[in-house]
Amino acid sequence: MRTDRTFTMLKPDSVEKGNIGAIVDKINAAGFRIVAMKLTQMTTQDAQEFYAVHSERPFYGELVSYMTRGPVVAAILEKENAVADFRTLIGATNPADAAEGTIRKLYAASMGENAVHGSDSDENAAIEGAFHFSGREMF
């Protein structure tokens, strides 16, 4: 299992607010190489599957409607220790708890609409990357 890649989505609120450029700048400045990137909109079934681990949680329905209401920027990012370093860059799930300078502190409105996704393990990074990209879309 490789340890130098993670998967991210810049969520619909980031696209709607015009924050994509600023967020990609922070990702580049933090030393991540962009392996794959595209604007794409998940179907309800896509989002239900992507977030299946949360299917019993009370926020699942809202999460699925939020994540499908418009396009996201999906990307695979490469850097040593990618998963943990990217989680540090984005900050806590709830922007109120996120450290100063993190992407969620700067750009997230709330716990529900929190600007960006980051994989939580090397295994999930591989699964989530393959969910969105074919081999020919990875560089």
Residue 101 engages ligand UDP in binding (rule: CB under 6 A): no
List 117, 125, 132, 133, catalytic entry: 117
Pick 20 or 66: Cβ nearer ligand UDP: 66
Q: How far is the CB of 11 from ligand UDP (least distance, A)?
A: 7
| Contact set for ligand UDP, span 120-139 (CB under 6 A) | 120
CA nearest 104: which of 123, 86, 125, 130?
Answer: 86
Q: Is 117 a catalytic residue?
A: yes
- Strands of the 116-118 sheet, one edge to the other: 33-40, 72-78, 5-10, 116-118
Report d(CA 77, CA 14) in Å as an integer.
18
Residue 120 engages Mg ion in binding (rule: CB under 5 A): yes
